Amino acid sequence: MGIRLRTKGTSYGVKLPENKLTQESPIEPIPLPQKVIIPLHQNIGAPCQALVKKGQKVLAGQKIGDSERFVNAPVHATISGEISAITTVINPPTGQPVAAFVITSDGADRWVELEPPEEPEALSVKEILGKIRGAGLVGLGGATIPTHVKLSPPEGKKIDTVILNGCECEPYITSDHRVMLEYGEKILSGLNIIRKVLSPHNIYIAIEDNKPDAIDHLEKLILAMGFKEDFKIVPLKSQYPMGAEKTLLNTLLGREVPIGGLPLDVGVVIHNISTTKAIHDAVFEGKPLVERVVTVTGAVKNPKNLLVRLGTPLRNLIDYCGGIDGKADEVILGGPMMGISQPDLDFPVTKGTGCVLVKESSPIRERDCISCGRCLKACPMHLMPTMLAKYAKAGRYDDCKKFYIDNCFECGTCAYVCPANIPIVQYTKIAKSELIKRAATR
Amino acid sequence: MYIVVLALMFPTIAGIYLFGYRTLLVMAVSIAVAVLTEYGVKKLRKRPFVMDGSAILTGLLLALTLPPTIPLWMVATGSVFSIAIVKEAFGGLGHNIFNPALGGRAFMMVSFPAEMTSWVLPRGFVTDAVTTATPLAEGFVWQLDRLELYKAMLLGNIGGSIGETSALLILIGGLLLIALRIIDWRIPLAYIATVALFTFALGQDAIFHVLAGGLMLGAFFMATDYVTSPITPKGRIIFGVGAGLLTVVIRLFGGLPEGVAFSILMMNAVTPLIDRHIKVKPYGLKKEG
């Protein structure tokens, strides 16, 4: 058996126009910004406590926020300079306002002393996890789960399979694709660290077959670096939302994560390509997470893949790419399917920002459901989306629960295939937040 | 919608060929009145009128289920009822409980029973009509052998509604819609298979019952209407089986010679119930117990 397995696919989901405008564009560092904005809460866990004060000088890579809580990742200064203000921004993962440091650059880009370990191979699991947490790593695919948490399965949960997620199934986004082509060695080294921590039986690298160059490249590297059949590459049919954890592990392994559960409940841990590269940086180079690759695409003059210091305002990225092209009026963080509209261009790039998509907003011309059933066929969670939308519209949120609304991860496939243009995801989002509100008041 | 209209061209052209130019007039009146009624009702309800093809489809479907000799003013009445009462009074496309074309036909059945059950033999473009009985009616006599009868029913060379007599051409249109994934194969298959098996079990001629009356048109073009049929795969099979059982019961034990229209309408009525209780098993649902 070779290291490349047979291509797998699923009947659920939908084939989308790819619009990968930037797949041939090498990663390009953007000039350092005059100021960065660093929110103190950039993960799905607890917010950080401030470690520095206004007026204080900081170095790039210096830890400026941390917490005692386990589910948390610290934040670092990403340029050298002075803490010039403390402001408030809206944290995309939670929608809550959080405090943020504004650092004004001194232009010198002075760094803290990085402390790469002398013998990285000899580190214990505990030391590795310490370094990963210390570097502030979170899932860079957008979920922003602290990486050390995902690498610490609870007592009694045996992880037998690790999947490296290089699907990048959303249209437009190419940041993971470029990272695979340009940082392949670091990805495999990071994956080797994950193997050491979790010691799974199987390790798969899942890549959609619209990126044959990445598949070939990683296959060659696996052989060149001597990992042989320890790491197996699984090409996947390009079909949205293949890269969603639950869809991916179902396609690969035929397992289903219980409703409300996590992949680790069925013995699987899934890490994103860029996260795995950052694991290598953290463990081998002692480098904290201060930059990431962001695809800037859509209606900008020159779409690019940029290497960006976290905290850089979105405006800088768009300007660097030649500005907005035409009459586009909407900026989306993430892809066109699951991304969130961001009206404020002074908002910073955060750990979960893989893509900045500029586009023309489209008015919704919603018509009535004709019960064609296309959304049922497409839903990767095997839900009945139109029923959820109907009940949500009528305010019957308890009925939404009977149709398993909690299983929905808002991929938007249903709304995409709907011939009546019903914004089904918006309705389910409203129903979910209403259900949360109700649960809180009870 | 327009693809369904296109698929209906097979039985439509067959109807014109078999029963003559007058059928064109029936269709034109039915479609024109349907579209105008929709326009008028939308204006009255102060809702936007969208030419989505659904009124054309309803008008055409209604015409195909009518006897070739039906008076035109009756066609117009049925068409108005289909759109104004069966569809728009319930809230328009997407909210109607009953298939509009079948609702209109049912209304005409009870309002004009004599005209709705007088049939002629297909004579093509000859104008003098010879009255006959449909194969399902009591007075039907067939002189030749069984095989010739099946052939006549497949090609439509037999008394019946404008678009219902040629089982073969309806089948071609229906299979086209299945191949294009416009309609789900489950409903027609479950429906026709149930009729075949049930009539066979009762010692009847199953092939005859499958080819006779409005079953083919009903199974492929009426029962598969998205709005008035269940949304889940399992629900659609239940719908097809239910309609099949009811059709046979009406045909063999009921007072009417044909039961396709009423059986589909009855299953339309239970569709909301089916959709509420027949759910798809969601991803990750733990098995109970």
Closest CA to B172 of B18, B10, B63, B14: B10
Residue among A370, A382, A407 whose CB faces B94 most closely: A370
Q: How far apart are CA A102 and CA A95, in angstroms?
A: 20
In a mutagenesis test of the A interface, which of B3, B47, B225, B231 is the best target, namely the one with the most A β-carbons within 10 Å? B231
Mean pLDDT value across chain B = 91
Residues A247, A129 within the same domain: yes
Query: Length of chain A, please?
Result: 442
Q: How large a percentage of chain A has pLDDT more than 90?
A: 81
Residue A240: pLDDT band (50, 70, 90) is very high
Mean pLDDT, residues A305-320 taken together: 96
User: Which region holds residue B108: left if phi is over 0, alpha if psi is between -120 and 50, else beta?
Assistant: alpha
We report the CATH number of the domain holding residue A254 as 3.40.50.11540
Beta bridge partners of A232: A204
Sheet of A57-58, strand order: A35-39, A97-105, A81-90, A57-58
In chain A, what residues touch B281 (CB-CB under 8 Å)?
Answer: 382
Mean pLDDT, residues B80-93 taken together: 95
More confident residue, B230 or B119: B230
pLDDT digits (tens, 9 = 90+) for B237-287: 999 999 999 999 999 998 888 899 999 999 999 999 999 899 899 998 875
How many domains in chain A? 2
Residues A143, A276 within the same domain: yes
Mean pLDDT, residues A162-177 taken together: 95
| Chain A residue nearest residue B91, CA to CA | A368
Is the pLDDT assigned to residue B24 strictly greater than 90?
yes
pLDDT at B127: 53
Residue among A371, A372, A381 whose CB faces B282 most closely: A381
Instruction: Annotate chain A with three-state secondary structure.
Output: CCCECCCECCCCCECCCCCCCCCCCCEEECCCCCEEEEECCCCCCCCCEECCCCCCEECECCEEEECCCCCCCCEECCCCEEEEEEEEEECCCCCCEEEEEEEEECCCCCECCCCCCCCHHHCCHHHHHHHHHHCCCECCCCCCCEHHHHCCCCCCCCCCEEEEEECCCCCCCCHHHHHHHHCHHHHHHHHHHHHHHHCCCEEEEEEECCCHHHHHHHHHHHHHCCCHHHEEEEEECCCECCCCHHHHHHHHHCCCCCCCCCHHHHCEEEEEHHHHHHHHHHHHHCCCCCEEEEEEEECECCCEEEEEECCCEHHHHHHHCCCECCCCCEEEECCCCCCEECCCCCCECCCCCCEEEEECCCCCCCCCCCCCCHHHHHCCCCCCHHHHHHHHHCCCHHHHHHCCHHHCCCCCHHHHHCCCCCCHHHHHHHHHHHHHHHHHHC
Measured CA distances, A356 to A34, A281, A316 (Å): 20, 24, 11
In chain B, what residues touch A261 (CB-CB under 8 Å)?
Answer: 284
| Chain A residue nearest residue B48, CA to CA | A367
pLDDT digits (tens, 9 = 90+) for A84-136: 999 998 765 567 788 999 999 999 999 999 988 888 888 999 999 999 999 99
- Burial grade of B133 (CB within 10 A; 0-12, 13-18, 19 or more): middle
Beta bridge partners of A82: A57, A104
Beta bridge partners of A164: A205, A271
In chain B, what residues touch A256 (CB-CB under 8 Å)?
Answer: 283-284
Grouping H, G, I as helix, E, B as strand and the rest as coil, residue A313 is strand
pLDDT at B137: 77
DSSP letter for A54, please: T
Closest approach of chain B CAs to the CA of A372, in angstroms?
A: 5
Cβ of B283 within 8 Å of Cβ of A368? The answer is: no
Would you say residue A103 lies in a domain?
no
Residue among A368, A371, A386 whose CB faces B92 most closely: A368
Pseudo-torsion of CA A197, A294, A84, A87, nearest 10°?
-90
CA B214 from centre of chain: 6
Beta bridge partners of A202: A161
Would you say residue A18 lies in a domain?
no
Q: How far apart are CA A86 and CA A89, in angstroms?
A: 10
Contact with chain B for residue A262, Cβ under 8 A? no
Q: How far apart are CA A313 and CA A291, in angstroms?
A: 13
Residue B58: pLDDT band (50, 70, 90) is very high
Residues A381, A232 within the same domain: no
Neighbours of B115 (CB within 10 A): 14
Label the pairing between strands A304-309 and B119-120: unpaired
Would you say residue A171 lies in a domain?
yes
Closest CA to B162 of B282, B279, B29: B29
Would you say residue A338 lies in a domain?
no
User: Which residues have a Cβ under 8 Å from the Cβ of B70 and sit 6 or more positions away?
Assistant: B26, B108, B112, B115, B116
Contact with chain A for residue B114, Cβ under 8 A? no
Mean pLDDT, residues A403-423 taken together: 94
pLDDT digits (tens, 9 = 90+) for A287-301: 999 999 999 999 999
Residues A248, A383 within the same domain: no
Residues A147, A279 within the same domain: yes
More confident residue, A60 or A2: A60
Would you say residue A220 lies in a domain?
yes
Closest approach of chain B CAs to the CA of A318, in angstroms?
A: 39
Residues A256, A402 within the same domain: no
Q: How large a percentage of chain A has pLDDT more than 70?
A: 99
Q: How far apart are CA A288 and CA A74, in angstroms?
A: 10
Grouping H, G, I as helix, E, B as strand and the rest as coil, residue A77 is coil
Closest CA to A103 of A46, A58, A148, A153: A58
**Residue with the two structure tokens 């009462």:** B85
User: Which residues have a Cβ under 8 Å from the Cβ of B56 and sit 6 or more positions away?
Assistant: B1, B2, B5, B31, B34, B35
- The torsion angles phi and psi of B69, rounded to 5 degrees, stand at -95, 5
Would you say residue A132 lies in a domain?
yes
pLDDT at A399: 92
User: Which residues have a Cβ under 8 Å from the Cβ of B261 and sit 6 or more positions away?
Assistant: B65, B102, B105, B106, B109, B214, B218, B222
Mean pLDDT, residues A10-34 taken together: 93
Element (H, E) at A37: strand A35-39
pLDDT at A161: 95
Element (H, E) at A356: strand A355-359
Dmax over CA atoms of chain B, in Å, equals 71
Domain residues for the domain of A141 are: 120-285
Least confident of A83-97, A180-194, A341-355: A83-97
Within chain B, where are the H helices?
Answer: 2-7, 9-19, 22-44, 54-64, 72-80, 100-111, 113-116, 146-155, 167-179, 186-201, 206-211, 215-217, 233-253, 260-277
Domain boundary among A239, A258, A285: A285
Beta bridge partners of A8: A236
Query: What are the sequence ranges of the domains in chain B?
Result: 2-277
Would you say residue A256 lies in a domain?
yes
In chain B, what residues touch A420 (CB-CB under 8 Å)?
Answer: 94
Domain boundary among A231, A260, A285: A285
Domain boundary among A285, A310, A343: A285
Mean pLDDT, residues A377-401 taken together: 94
Grouping H, G, I as helix, E, B as strand and the rest as coil, residue A265 is helix
Residues A149, A279 within the same domain: yes
Mean pLDDT, residues A373-392 taken together: 95
Contact with chain A for residue B282, Cβ under 8 A? yes
Tokens of A59: 């170095």
Element (H, E) at A305: strand A304-309
Residue among A259, A368, A380 whose CB faces B285 most closely: A259
Residue among B92, B231, B283 whose CB faces A382 most closely: B283
Q: At what angle do helices A125-134 and A184-198 cross, to 10 degrees?
A: 130
Tokens of A158: 């045996």
Residue among B50, B95, B231 whose CB faces A386 most closely: B231
Contact with chain B for residue A396, Cβ under 8 A? no
Cβ of B280 within 8 Å of Cβ of A376? The answer is: yes
Grouping H, G, I as helix, E, B as strand and the rest as coil, residue A261 is coil
Residues A133, A269 within the same domain: yes
Closest CA to B167 of B177, B181, B153, B182: B153
Q: What is the ipTM of this complex?
A: 0.86
- Count of CB contacts below 8 A, A vs B? 68
Quick check: A253 and A137 in contact, CB under 8 A? no
More confident residue, A364 or A392: A392
- Computed on alpha carbons and rounded to an integer, the radius of gyration of chain A in Å comes to 21
Amino acid letter at A327? Answer: K
Cβ of A370 within 8 Å of Cβ of B286? The answer is: no
Would you say residue A88 lies in a domain?
no
Cβ of B285 within 8 Å of Cβ of A372? The answer is: no
Is the pLDDT assigned to residue A1 strictly greater than 90?
no
pLDDT digits (tens, 9 = 90+) for B123-167: 765 555 567 777 887 667 677 788 888 888 888 888 889 999 899
In chain A, what residues touch B223 (CB-CB under 8 Å)?
Answer: none
Q: How large a percentage of chain B has pLDDT more than 70?
A: 95
In chain A, what residues touch B283 (CB-CB under 8 Å)?
Answer: 246, 250, 256-257, 259, 380-383, 407
Quick check: B153 and B212 in contact, CB under 8 A? yes
pLDDT at B289: 39
In chain B, what residues touch A405 (CB-CB under 8 Å)?
Answer: none
Grouping H, G, I as helix, E, B as strand and the rest as coil, residue A329 is coil
CB contacts under 8 A, B 209-248 vs A, are 226-227, 229, 231-232
The CA-based angle B133-B136-B139, given to 5 degrees, is 40
pLDDT at B175: 96
Residues A165, A277 within the same domain: yes
The CA-based angle A6-A7-A9, given to 5 degrees, is 135
Cβ of A376 within 8 Å of Cβ of B232? The answer is: yes
In CATH, which of 3.40.50, 2.60.120, 1.10.3430, 3.40.1130 is domain B2-277? 1.10.3430
